[in-house]
Chains A and B, each alone.
Chain A
Amino acid sequence: DADVTQTPRNRITKTGKRIMLECSQTKGHDRMYWYRQDPGLGLRLIYYSFDVKDINKGEISDGYSVSRQAQAKFSLSLESAIPNQTALYFCATSDFRGNVDEQYFGPGTRLTVT
């Protein structure tokens, strides 16, 4: 089984709808991240969490919220989806071992907002 899983893998939704993307990990890592990827722009950090009680905004958090329900689960919500949130979304985890933040990525969720 994959260490970092994301659900759903693909989602088409309409403008104004609320949508939640979920991430689960079996790696036992404390740190979890949400990124979005747009063509030609690389990955941009939306939110990150260093433990269950810690939530931090990334560079593009507007229009998104997150919930860290447990060490293994980190969900991303779009309260009112808009078309420019159409993108590929990735969850990642790390354990910051040896002062190094090597990240492990999920397979991604392709979100289309019409």
Chain B
Amino acid sequence: SQQGEEDPQALSIQEGENATMNCSYKTSINNLQWYRQNSGRGLVHLILIRSNEREKHSGRLRVTLDTSKKSSSLLITASRAADTASYFCATVLGGSNYKLTFGKGTLLTVNP
């Protein structure tokens, strides 16, 4: 079963708007990572947040983590058409040192 589940499954916005995607997970984690996948291509690592962190920024990306609610969000500000892709959260379980478990992803479409 999936450890992480993204919400929404699909999101369509206009260029310049912000996009927010959420990830919920079931058990305690060591860290949570977000990846991007352009259509039919390999995944690319975007950002990682550890279980003792609450917020991280990288360029136009902002990730939050709420371990009490077992959830994370990815915010992309001032979106561009090139941000169109699927976004996946991946969790590493607490106590383990391997095996990312991926969610099913959110398909983001940014319309020019």
Contacts and interface: CB of A to CB of B under 8 A. Distances in A.
A68 interface: no
B42 interface: yes
A43 B40 contact: no
Q: What class of interface size applies to chain A in its complex with B?
A: 20 to 34
Contacts of B103: 42
**Main DSSP-derived SS at the A contact region:** strand
A31 B99 CA distance: 10
Contacts of A107: 41-42
7 contacts: A43-B43, A88-B40, A90-B43, A99-B97, A103-B43, A105-B42, A110-B40
Contacts of B92: 101
A108 B40 contact: yes
Contacts of B98: 31, 48, 50, 96, 101
